């Protein structure tokens, strides 16, 4: 089977592009520092939970038909948008990466310019997001969420009603508002309904919005909360 990828839902085969996968198995780098102390053996380690961006490289990508027109179309598509875009490849079909493409694209065409090979590299966020983490979990009564990974997930939460919502050790108190529901993005720490900010309607008993820790996480719907939809955003490395 020839391997390929989709970028923002567009199949690379649309441009006649197929890929090799040596670079798809690499891991990210942890942000870490080593501190030397005079007169002391060894180094102190400055630990950080931050993982650095990396490069996702398909070393031997190729086009074998309609080379010039396909390549021109792909160049325009790859460079038309700034910011992160979702990429899924056939090597890891159950996960996606958030990538951005900056170029350049250096191509080795055949003598007749009817085919070509090139290395295709994307700047890539460190997480491998699981497609299963995009499936919403609906609660109309208290329950729990099982995080199958080793990493804290920052969910998106849609809350219907007003009252206290408990997730793990965090209580979210939602004041009455006139909207059908409230969206809470735990990754950005924002509460909103469409384009309307609702941060002033939310009070936390902790500094940060909740995360879903590895293992079981309790979900408690207090009086006045009628339904909660959690999109967990599972990820691994």
- Over the stretch 151-169, which tens digit does the pLDDT of each residue have? 999 999 999 999 999 999 9
End-to-end CA distance of the chain: 25
Report the alpha-carbon angle 156-57-15, nearest 5.
85
The whole-chain average pLDDT of the chain stands at: 93
Please state the domain extents for the chain: 5-126, 131-236
Which range is least confidently modeled, 9-13, 80-84, 110-114, 147-151?
110-114
pLDDT band at 36 (very low <50, low <70, confident <90, very high): confident
pLDDT band at 48 (very low <50, low <70, confident <90, very high): confident
With a cut of 90, say whether residue 30 has pLDDT above it. Answer: no
pLDDT band at 50 (very low <50, low <70, confident <90, very high): confident
Instruction: Give the Cα separation of 162 and 31 in Å (integer).
Output: 40
pLDDT band at 43 (very low <50, low <70, confident <90, very high): confident
pLDDT value at position 96? 98
Percent of the chain surpassing pLDDT 70: 100
Contact 215, 179 (CB under 8 A): no
Calculate mean pLDDT across residues 93-112.
89
pLDDT value at position 140? 98
pLDDT band at 28 (very low <50, low <70, confident <90, very high): confident
Instruction: Give the phi and the psi of residue 68 in degrees, each rounded to 5.
Output: -65, -45
According to the CATH classification, is domain 5-126 in 3.40.50.620?
no
The CATH number for 131-236, chosen from 2.60.40.10, 3.40.50.720, 3.40.50.2030, 2.60.120.860, is: 2.60.120.860
Calculate mean pLDDT across residues 53-63.
92
Handedness of CA 183, 157, 152, 122 (dihedral sign): negative
With a cut of 90, say whether residue 214 has pLDDT above it. Answer: yes
With a cut of 90, say whether residue 136 has pLDDT above it. Answer: yes
Contact 100, 32 (CB under 8 A): no
């Amino acid at each position: 089977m020839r391997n390929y990828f989709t970028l923002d839902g567009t199949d690379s085969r649309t441009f006649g592009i197929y890929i090799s996968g040596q670079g798809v198995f690499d891991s990210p780098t942890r942000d870490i520092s080593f501190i030397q102390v005079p007169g002391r053996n060894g180094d102190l380690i400055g630990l950080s939970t931050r993982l650095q961006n990396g490069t996702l490289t398909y070393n031997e990508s190729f086009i074998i038909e309609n080379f010039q027109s396909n390549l021109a179309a792909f160049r325009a598509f790859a460079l038309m948008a700034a910011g992160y875009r979702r990429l899924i490849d056939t090597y890891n079909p159950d996960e996606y990466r958030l990538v951005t493409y900056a170029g350049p694209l250096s191509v080795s065409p055949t003598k007749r310019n009817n085919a070509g090979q090139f290395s295709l590299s994307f700047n890539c966020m460190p997480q491998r997001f699981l497609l299963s983490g995009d499936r919403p979990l609906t609660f109309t009564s208290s329950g729990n969420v099982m995080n199958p990974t080793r990493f804290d997930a920052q969910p998106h939460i849609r809350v219907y009603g007003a009252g206290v919502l408990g997730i793990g050790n965090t209580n979210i108190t939602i004041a009455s508002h006139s909207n059908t529901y409230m969206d809470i993005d735990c990754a950005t720490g924002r509460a909103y309904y469409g384009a309307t900010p609702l941060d002033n309607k939310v009070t936390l008993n902790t500094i940060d919005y909740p995360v879903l820790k590895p293992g079981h996480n309790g979900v408690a719907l207090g009086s006045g909360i009628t339904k909660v939809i959690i999109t967990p955003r599972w990820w691994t490395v």
